[in-house]
Each structure stands twice: as structure tokens, then as C-alpha cells.
Structure 1
Amino acid sequence: MERPYAVVIGASAGGVQALMELAGGLPAGFPATVLVVQHIGAHPSILPELLASRGPNPARHAADGDLPQPGTIHVAPPDCHMVLEADRIRLVRGPKENHARPAIDPLFRSAACYWGAQTIGVLLSGQLDDGTAGMQAVKACGGFTIVQDPSTATEPEMPRNALNNVAIDLCLPVGEIAAALVSRVAGVSVAGPAAAPAPELVAREVRINQGIDVMDNLLQLGKASGLTCPDCGGSLFELTDARPVRYRCHTGHAYSPRSLEHAQGETVEAALWSSARALQEKEMLLRRLAAVARSSGRSAEAKVGERRADEVREQALKLTRMIEDGAERSA
């Protein structure tokens, strides 16, 4: 069976404008399947309408089981990973990767596994480093890789991380990427799947995304790290052959070091604010008990309660200042 190239595109913060510019540069009837993941979480999205309004090709949110269509831009819907299988698009509401759903890595990895050398990975503006492992998979399976020039990206961190860790084929301003894609695909289709099987790391992670023998595949890929998953609290395994280091838990959550640090920071901040709230509530209780004691003529007991309330109030203020100072340093 003949099939065209699969162009898989990932974007995050600052990526909508880049995607619109890229869509506007593709010719009508672009002879490749285009699949897009933009980090949107569970929020409603009008991205397909925006992309269709800027270019000649139709764009729509993918549905589970869709056939990939050349000349159509398939967009991951909110709160679902979009992956490619042999001849179908699949939507999976599985565990988050890099603290995101939809995430870029699952799409890139699955396209690389099933479409091999007929995969073109494109990474645009964004924070952190989702997409780097996916681009490594595309390269490992013989595909072609393009990143937006970080100096032209609203958020350069995501493309820069890919450049630092993957032998990227082209680094271009977003305005030049569409022409590069047209030149690359040139209307060519090939018969059948990739000649070589995907490397073990790629193939097993694809099976984990599919929910197949998750623990067995994880045990083959890594070893317990002593860290816990910020999303579910399970043990994180460090993937043995992944460079840079990456982590997965037995339920399927996956992290790069940057995304893990970011998720841990959110968890710590939430715990600290919860502690500050608990201290404030303790102060309120102590003052209430002191007021009751004073109204009952137990002035000594009231003074002790008020002193303890003052101490707790100072603790809460110190903790709040520490949290706010940490947030300013991280900004």
C-alpha cells in the first residue's frame, strides 16, 4: 500500500502564531499527511479553524480511527494524546508526558515507529523540552527533522533543547519551513512500512503509550530511580539508554529532567501554600479559644492562647514570604 510522508508538528507557548504562518505557507493539496500537537491541556481549542483560515488546506480536530489524509491538517483535540499507528490516527487519554496532554513526544515516537523514513518531525516555539525525545525517535527510525530557529521563536527553549540533543537536519525561521517541507516531500510516496524495525527504546515506549504490558516494557527499559512521580506518586524508573536522561512511572507518566523539575516545583509550591493555609487556620482557632477563655474570666489562659496565636501568625508570614521570594526567583 502506498502512503505519503507523515509531517508531525509540535508546538507549545508561542506556537499558535508559528503554526498559522506555517499553514499559510503550504500549497493547496500538500501531498503529505500533517499532524499537529499544540500544548493546550484540557482547554477548548479553535486551532483547526485558525489554521484553515490562514491556508488553503482543511484543518480539523482528529477523531479516533481517522485515516490520515494528505492535504489535511489533523490537530490533536484537547486532553488527548494523538498517535499514529500503521494506517490510523488514534486518540489516547493516557497518562501525561512531560506534564502535558496532548504531548508532542507520543505523536513523534509513534510516527517514527510505524512510518519510519517517511516521517518528518517539525518542532516549533515552546518552553521546556517536550519534543526532544520524539525528534530522537524520528532520527533513530530514519526520518527527517526540522526545528524553528530559536532566535526567531517567541519561546526558544523547546527548539533549543532539541538542537542541543539531536542531530537536527534543518534549523530555519518559521517562514522558511513550509518551503522546506514542499521540497522534501516532492509528492513522493513509497510502498509499505519502514524497512528496518524501530529501535527497542522507541518500540517499547510506543507499546507503553498503547497501554500494552506497561510494567514489563518499563522493566526492560530502565531501573528504579528512587524518585516518585509528581502526578501519581508512583516510583519513577530512569530509562537506561535515554540521553538526556528521562523518567517513566509504571502507570505511564513520562518526564524529561526539565519537565520533572517543573512538575516537582509545582508540587512543592502547592504543598507550601497548603501549609501556610493550615497555619493561618490554626491562628484563627487559637484566637477564638483565647477569646472564649477571656470572656469566661480565664485571663491567664487567654494570654497564653494569644501568645501562641502570635507565634503561629509569624510562622505563616515567614512561610508566605519564602514562597513568594521563591516564585520571584523562578520567574
Structure 2
Amino acid sequence: MLIGASAGGVAALTELTAGLPKDFPAAVLVVLHIGVHRSTLAELLSLRCPLDVAFGRHGEAPRAGTVRVAPSDEHMVLVGGRIELTRSAKENHTRPAIDPLFRSAALEFGPAAIGVVLTGTLDDGTAGLQAIKAMGGTAVVQDPADAVEPGMPASALRHVPVDHCVPLAAMAPLLTALAGAPVNVAAALTGNGTNHGRTKEYAAMSPTQQRLVHEQALMLGTGNFTEHLRAVGQPSMFTCPECHGGLWELRDVVPRRLRCHTGHAFTERSLQLALSESVDEALWAALRALQEKEALLAQGANEQRGSDPAESARLASAALSAQRQAATLRKLLQQPARPPPAPPPPPE
């Protein structure tokens, strides 16, 4: 059982896990977007959840009746039936991210994987649910109307053939029933596809399933990254905002997704966010450089005033120009962000 959440997720996860029975027949793995900040999620959930709750431990085998939470700044994935914690490249501009866990579980457990997307912004979890469905698993989302932030569940509903969409109050009974249902795990790929070049299982997979194997290898940093990228996409005009390498656009995926050879991955929306942050950082750096340039020129003008009036005047004029440029840029930076205008209504 894989559960992913973002904004509003602490309250949602607390309510959901509190409703699970003590004899819950599956392991529960949880990712909450927490970034590098210290997480107390495991402690918070343990206050009300009747199951054994703790942060995931590297090498631990998931057991029924346990809840394992991804630690801060580490992806939690499944490889060889065990939890692997890794500081591999961010996906969707975050670490831990939901998609790596869901994708690894899809490859590891096939139809036995149950993915759950709860409240959150943007669209992390959509590609992960697609992976789970591609391997025969079950997709569950919180009703967007019931979510604090509807973005993630709404994206999943838009792009994934979801099996169940329910409000949070109905989630625990549903997951208990799904976890107790018998499944055929024959579609699971031994070794999580990391030995894809030598397995009959890989050769028998659909192109979509094979893409998942290559994506997982890129995330784990195994094999030849050029081979993996060529297998799943083609070069794009964009560069990775994390490492500044070239981004490859994945073929035949909706929503649009991109990857670089170091392992960073983005949906179109998370790339927009990352690029917006990069632009903001670059503009503030430009303002800093202009202010330093102004200060240096002004200092030179003062030093040259007595010995070389002409040079002092030139430096003072250049300092004034830098000051005006800095003022214009600061005014631009300090303008409040405004949403784009709403599209016009359709003609009647």
C-alpha cells in the first residue's frame, strides 16, 4: 500500500491511518513532501494509528501491519522486496517524491501494488499511479472536492483510469477491503527491472512497462544513462534547472514529462515551478551584481575626484546608470505576482 500526499497531507494522513484496523493485512509506505526539513510525521501518526509506525529503514522488508514513512530529503523506493533510501536526484523538484516510490512498487509487486494519492498541489503521484496501473495494480485518489489542496488528486483523475475516488472519511474502510483481496502477483518484475537486459520478463513487457524499467534505472543511477534516455525519449530544447544538463522529453506520456541524464525528472508543471524559481534567483543575483557595480564605481569616482576629474565624472556617470538599472530591476522584482487573466467565456 503506497500513499502520497503534499499540502494538507499531515491532517489527511493522520485521519486516514487512525482509521486502519490493528490487523491491517498489508504494509503501508508513506511519502509526504517534506524536503530537507526535519520530519516528525512518524511520531505524529503513531499518536493515533494502531499500527507500528516508524520512518523507513534502509534494507528493511515491509511487513503487514506496519506504516513506514519516507525520511526527510531521501527518496524511499522498493528494490528486491526491501526498502531502499537514497538521496538520488529530485523528481518533480522534491525529495522525497511520490512518483519514485509508486513506480518502484509497481515494478516490484505488479497487481499487488495499491497506490493512493491524497491532497496536494501540482501533480506528483500522477505518473506513479500510471505506473501502478500499467503493471496491473490499483489506483485510489481522494475526492478533490474533499481535499485541502485538490491539485494532485485532480491531476490523477484527469490522466489515470482511477479505480476508486472517495472522500477521506471513506478511505480507511476501502483500503482495508482492497488490502485483504487476493491478487495475482505473477506480473511483478524480479529485481525491480534493474537487470532488464538479461530477463525474459523484460522482453515480454509492453513498451510502457519497459519505459518504467528505464526510468527506474535512471533514478537509481544504474546502467548506461544514454541507453536509458534513448529508450524513453528524445532531446528537448530545455535544460535541467537542478543540474543544468539537457532534458529529454519522454515519448507517448501525458502529462508531458522530462528527464535529464543525472536522474532529475519533471512533469511540465513542476518544471514550470522550478524554472520560475530559477528565474527569481537569477534576477535577485542580477540585482546584487548591479548594486555591487554601483558601489564599486562610486568608490572609484570618489577616489579619482582630486587627481583625475574627468575619470571621476565618467565613473560617477556609470555608477548612476547602474543605480537606475538596479532601481528598475528592484521595482520589477517587488511587484506582487498576479494570476493570468481568466479565459473568455465560450461563445453561445
Identify whether the pair has TM-score above 0.5, normalized to the shorter chain.
yes
Displacement of 1:19 in angstroms is 0.6
- Aligned residue in 2 for 1:13: 7
- Aligned residue in 1 for 2:266: 255
2:109·2:185 contact (CA, 8 Å) conserved in 1? no
The 1-side partners of 2:300 and 2:54 are apart by: 61
- Aligned residue in 2 for 1:288: 299
Q: Kindly provide the amino acid, as one letter, of the partner of residue 60 in structure 1.
A: A
SS at match of 1:316: helix
Instruction: Pick from 68, 90, 99 the counterpart of residue 105 of structure 1.
Output: 99
Per-residue CA distance 1:214-261 (angstroms, 9 max, x = gap): 321111111101211111111111111222211010111100000111
After superposition, residues 1-331 of structure 1 pair within 5 angstroms as 7-186=1-180, 188=182, 194=188, 197=205, 199-213=209-223, 214-294=225-305, 296=306, 298-325=308-335, 328-329=337-338
Q: Kindly provide the amino acid, as one letter, of the partner of residue 229 in structure 2.
A: L
Per-residue CA distance 1:261-291 (angstroms, 9 max, x = gap): 1111111111111001100111111211122
SS at match of 1:99: coil
Displacement of 1:188 in angstroms is 4.1
Displacement of 1:301 in angstroms is 3.9
The count of corresponding residues between Structure 1 and Structure 2 is 323
1:99·1:263 contact (CA, 8 Å) conserved in 2? yes
Displacement of 1:128 in angstroms is 1.2
The 2-side partners of 1:176 and 1:234 are apart by: 44
Gaps of 5+ in 2: 190-203, 341-348
1:32·1:187 contact (CA, 8 Å) conserved in 2? no
Structure 1 length normalisation: TM-score? 0.92
SS at match of 2:337: helix
SS at match of 1:73: strand
Higher RCO (CA 8 Å, separation ≥ 6 residues): 1
Displacement of 1:299 in angstroms is 4.2
The 1-side partners of 2:246 and 2:89 are apart by: 14
Displacement of 1:68 in angstroms is 0.4
The 2-side partners of 1:117 and 1:86 are apart by: 16
SS at match of 2:31: strand
Change (3 A) 1:194 1:305: closer
1:227·1:235 contact (CA, 8 Å) conserved in 2? yes
SS at match of 1:259: helix
The 2-side partners of 1:308 and 1:208 are apart by: 50
Moved more, 181-190 or 285-294: 181-190
2:123·2:267 contact (CA, 8 Å) conserved in 1? yes
* 4+ runs deviating over 3 angstroms: 187-198, 297-304
Displacement of 1:63 in angstroms is 1.1
The 1-side partners of 2:183 and 2:162 are apart by: 23
SS at match of 2:298: helix
Displacement of 1:330 in angstroms is 5.8
2:111·2:185 contact (CA, 8 Å) conserved in 1? no
The 2-side partners of 1:281 and 1:329 are apart by: 30
Aligned residues: CA RMSD: 1.9
Displacement of 1:210 in angstroms is 2.4
1:10·1:122 contact (CA, 8 Å) conserved in 2? yes
- Aligned residue in 2 for 1:3: none
2:298·2:315 contact (CA, 8 Å) conserved in 1? yes
1:132·1:165 contact (CA, 8 Å) conserved in 2? yes
Displacement of 1:83 in angstroms is 0.8
Per-residue CA distance 1:146-183 (angstroms, 9 max, x = gap): 11111222221111111111111111211211111012
Change (3 A) 1:83 1:138: same
Q: Kindly provide the amino acid, as one letter, of the partner of residue 136 in structure 2.
A: G
The 2-side partners of 1:124 and 1:241 are apart by: 26
Gaps of 5+ in 1: 1-6
SS at match of 1:217: helix
The 2-side partners of 1:132 and 1:300 are apart by: 65
Per-residue CA distance 1:189-219 (angstroms, 9 max, x = gap): 7666639857111122122222222321111
Identity %: 47
Q: Kindly provide the amino acid, as one letter, of the partner of residue 150 in structure 2.
A: P
The 2-side partners of 1:256 and 1:308 are apart by: 44
